[in-house]
Every structure is written in C-alpha cells, then in structure tokens.
Amino acid sequence: MNQTIRIASVLFLCAASLGAQTANRWTLFQALDWSGRLDYLHDQTSVKDDGPFLLQALDLTDSSQVESGTDQDSSLKKEITLLLIKMLAAHPEPGAVAAISRIPQEYKDPLLKGESWVALAKLGDKAFIPGLVTTLDSLNESGLRSRNEEIQAAYAVQALGILKASEGFRAVAGASLAWYSPASQVKVAAKKTLPLLVSDFEKAVTPLLADDQDLTFREGFFQEVVEMSDSALAARAASAVLSTLVYQRPGDKVDQDRTRRLTLAAFVAAQNSPHPPASLVPSLKVLLGRTESYEILAGSVRLLGRIDDPSAVALLSDTLAGFNLRQKAGTNTTQDLALVKELFQALAQTGKAEARVTLDEARFSDYPPGFVREAQAAEDKLPRG
C-alpha cells in the first residue's frame, strides 16, 4: 500500500470514528431529560467543538418551544439554548447563523434575543444589521421603558459594536441619550461604542448635528460631543449645529427655547476653542442680520472677535458701519448702542489693521463722547497698515 492510500485510509477511519462518536453522543443526549441535557453540556467539555452536535441540540431545544411547558422546563430549555448559542458563536459551524437567527424572531425573552444578536455579530452576520438598528431605534423611543427593553438595548449596542456597523451610528447615538436608567449602563456603553462604529468620527457626527430632524437629539448629542474635551472638535461641531439652526424659526415655544439654548451652547463651545473656525462666520452673519435677543447678538459679535479670518473682520466692520450710519441719523436704540461697544471690543480683539477703518469712522459719527473715547482706545490697540 503506497503512502497516499495509507493517508486516505487513516483519514477515513478518523472520520468514521468521529461520526460514530457524534452519533453515540446524540443518542445519549436525546435520552436525557432537560435537566440532564443541561448537565451534560456543562460536564462534557468536548461537545463545544462538535458543531454538528451543537446544531442538532439547538434544533431539538428550539423545536420543543423554549418558552412553553412548566416554569422549570422552560427555565432549563432557556439555559440550554443560551449555552448552545454561546458555544456556536465561539466555534462557528455552517448553518449556525440560520439556526441562531430564528431565536430572536420566535421568543420574547430579552436574554434569548440579546445573546442571539451578539452571537450573530461574532459570527460576522451583517444581514441582520438593518433589523437590529430598527429595533434599537424603537427601544430608544419606547413608552414602556421596561427592564426587559433595557436588556435588549444593551445587547443591541454590543452587537452593533462588534460588527462595527456604521449603519447603526444614529441609533447608538440615540441610545446614549435615551431614557435608559443608570443601572442599565446602556447610555455609557453607547457612548463608548460610537467611535468603534466609524473610521471618521467627526464625519459621522457632523450631519447629525446639522441636519437631524429631532432638535432634542441635536441638543443632547452636541453636549455629548462638547464633553469629549476636544475643544477644536467642539468648535467645529458648533459650526455644524449653527449652519442650519440659524435658519430655523420654530413656532412651538418649547422648540424656540431649545433653539436659543443650543445657539448659546454653540457660542460657548466655539469660544472655548483656541482657534474658532472661519466656517462659523456665515452663520453669525445670519444671526446679526436678524432681530435677535441681545444675548445672541452680543454672543455673535464676541465670537467674531475670536475668529482669525478676514471674513470675520469684514463682518464686524460692516456691522459697525451700519450702526455708524444709523447714529448719524439718530435711529440707534439703547440696545444698539450697547452692541456698538461690543463691536469696538471685538474689532480691537481681532488685532487686524483693517479694523481701524470703521473704528475711525465711529469717532466722527455723532456718538456721545464716551463712545468716541472707547472707539479711539480700540483703534489704538490695532497695528497700522
């Protein structure tokens, strides 16, 4: 007998032996009651490597309807199912995905659902991602707010993180802000999972801050980004928020208040950056062009004074030039005059020689003597061109 034939014979005998071992194991397993089957799975450590056996055992348990029967039988079947799911996730076997996928569809138990999701994620099954995202979105908005829902949400976040499912970014972000209790740790897990889902975190964050239809979500998520202690990212996030927020005119009082709070929060975040981005200027121009609360107008001016860009200097100068003309016409209000002082200080803060022009004009625009002195003091802080 040549070498090739001998090797083939050995492999055949090994396969036959393994097949017989699995058959004997299966016969014994079937003869046991539910308690005995659970003990067998715990005691016989070699079964964890026997994929065909594990699939048969899962099918047997599933076919008996895990959640049916006496409380004791149902509890035992549930433990067996959970154990088999974990074993199959650790030792992939063809057919495991299809078998495990049935479990969360057939049963209500949150652990059966959750462990199935995590197992499918570990097995690399991406087909269930859209359904899982929809499920997490629904859990985030639940009116029941039950412990079972918290368990499912925790598993859903974990599974999406294992898969690095970028499609789940919005749902996981929503989970980080949703109703879940501190004890559930869902919100904490969601925050930690978000960076794992995408290769470019800022690229994923920006459209949510700029375009998400849920203003409550935008306000909360922006605060989360700010709390990451990256001042440059926070300033760019503020720019994204304001880029669309400045065009919104909510009719509802609650949304009006929320819009105002979010605008002011964006100002603070941008001000805390060493270098607020020039991308803020178009939004600040819109705010200055409207009749807003003094707090927002002044905040816009102060922020412009921090932006090191010609467009910021130009906007400040144009705004002061408008007030200079109105002062000559005698139409500036008390609030206008307060904002003029803010403009003097902001122009001085730019440190740009170009800012001298409108400050010089202000000295000859019929302002009270005190204003003239402040305009001169601001101009004196600037270099000459």
Q: Is the pLDDT of residue 19 over 60?
A: no
Residues 24-48 pLDDT 10s: 889 999 999 999 999 999 999 889 9
Q: Is the pLDDT of residue 16 over 60?
A: no
Binned at pLDDT 50, 70 and 90, residue 292 comes out as confident
Q: Is the pLDDT of residue 4 over 90?
A: no
- Domain locations in the chain? 23-96, 126-199, 201-275, 277-385
What percent of the chain stands above pLDDT 70? Answer: 94
SS (H, E, C) the chain: CCHHHHHHHHHHHHHHHHHHHHHHHHHHHHHCCHHHHHHHHHHCHHHHHCHHHHHHHHHHHHHCCCCCCCHHHHHHHHHHHHHHHHHHHHCCCCCHHHHHHHHHHHCCCHHHHHHHHHHHHHCCCCCCHHHHHHHHHHHHCCCCCCHHHHHHHHHHHHHHHHHCCHHHHHHHHHHCCCCCCHHHCHHHHHHHHHHHHCCCHHHHHHHHHHHCCCHHHHHHHHHHHHCCCCHHHHHHHHHHHHHHHCCCCCCCHHHHHHHHHHHHHHHHHHHCCCCCCHHHHHHHHHHHCCCCCHHHHHHHHHHHHHCCCHHHHHHHHHHHHHHHHHHHHCCCCHHHHHHHHHHHHHHHHHCCHHHHHHHHHHCCCCCCHHHHHHHHHHHHCCCCC
Q: Is the pTM of this model over 0.85?
A: yes
Residues 265-286 pLDDT 10s: 999 999 999 999 999 999 999 9
Per-residue pLDDT, 47: 92
Binned at pLDDT 50, 70 and 90, residue 13 comes out as very low
